[in-house]
C-alpha cells in the first residue's frame, strides 16, 4: 500500500494546487502551488512519511524521462522556429550561457560573503 498512499498524497496536493490556481486565476501552474502546499504540510507534520518518500523519490529519479513527451511537441513548432531560425538559435545559446554564468557567479560570491559573515558573528558571540 505505500505506493498508493504516497501517490495519493502527491495527487491531493496537486489537486489542491490546481484549485487554488484556477480559483484565484493565478498565472502559476497548479503543481508548483501543490509543491508549496506539500512543503508547508511537511513542516507542520515534522517528518516525511516513508510511503511519500518512496513514491516521491522514485518519481524524481526518472524526472528526465517525464519531459520527453512534451519535448517531442517541438516538432509542431518547426515552422514557427524556422521563420527566425538563426536569431532564435544564437539568442538561446548566447543568452543561456550568460544567464548560467551570471547566476552561478553571483550566488557563489554572495554565499562566500554570507558564510564568512556568519562565521565572524558566531566567533564574536
Partner 1 sequence: MNVASLDQLWVYLSGNPLLSLLTTLLVFALSVRINRAVGGTPLLHPVTLSIAMLIALLLLVDMDYRAYFEGAQFIHFMLGPATVALAIPLYDHRERVRSLLWPLLLACGAGIVTAVASTLGIAMLLGARTETLLSLAPRSVTSPIAMGIAEQIGGIPSLAAGLVLLTGSIGCALGPWIFRLLRIKDPVVQGFTLGLAAHGFGTAHAFARLGAVAGAFSGLAMGLTGLLTAFLLPLITRLFGFG
1/60 with CB nearer partner 1: 60
- 32 closest CA partner among 7, 13, 48: 13
Query: Where in 11-50 is the site for partner 1 (CB under 8 A)?
Result: 11, 13-14, 17, 27-32, 34-39, 42-43, 48
Instruction: Give the DSSP H or E segment for 106.
Output: helix 85-124
Considering CB under 8 A, how many residues would be counted as binding partner 1? 75
- 108 closest CA partner among 116, 118, 119: 116
Q: Strands of 1-125 (E only): list them.
A: none
Kindly write out the interface string for residues 100-119 of this chain, putting x where it contacts partner 1 by CB under 8 A and - elsewhere. xxxxxxxxx-xx-xx---x-
Q: If binding is defined by CB under 8 A, does position 4 make contact with partner 1?
A: no
User: Are the beta carbons of 74 and 92 closer than 8 angstroms?
Assistant: no
19/118 with CB nearer partner 1: 118
87/123 with CB nearer partner 1: 87
Q: What is the DSSP letter of 47?
A: S
Amino acid at each position: 500500500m505505500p505506493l498508493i498512499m504516497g501517490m495519493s498524497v502527491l495527487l491531493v496536493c496537486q489537486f489542491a494546487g490546481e484549485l487554488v490556481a484556477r480559483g484565484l486565476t493565478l498565472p502559476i501552474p497548479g503543481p508548483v502551488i501543490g509543491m508549496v502546499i506539500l512543503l508547508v504540510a511537511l513542516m507542520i507534520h515534522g517528518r516525511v512519511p516513508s510511503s511519500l518518500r518512496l513514491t516521491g523519490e522514485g518519481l524524481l529519479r526518472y524526472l528526465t524521462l517525464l519531459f520527453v513527451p512534451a519535448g517531442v511537441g517541438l516538432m509542431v513548432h518547426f515552422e514557427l522556429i524556422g521563420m527566425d531560425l538563426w536569431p532564435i538559435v544564437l539568442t538561446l545559446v548566447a543568452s543561456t550561457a550568460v544567464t548560467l554564468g551570471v547566476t552561478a557567479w553571483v550566488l557563489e560570491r554572495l554565499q562566500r560573503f554570507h558564510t564568512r559573515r556568519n562565521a565572524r558573528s558566531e566567533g564574536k558571540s
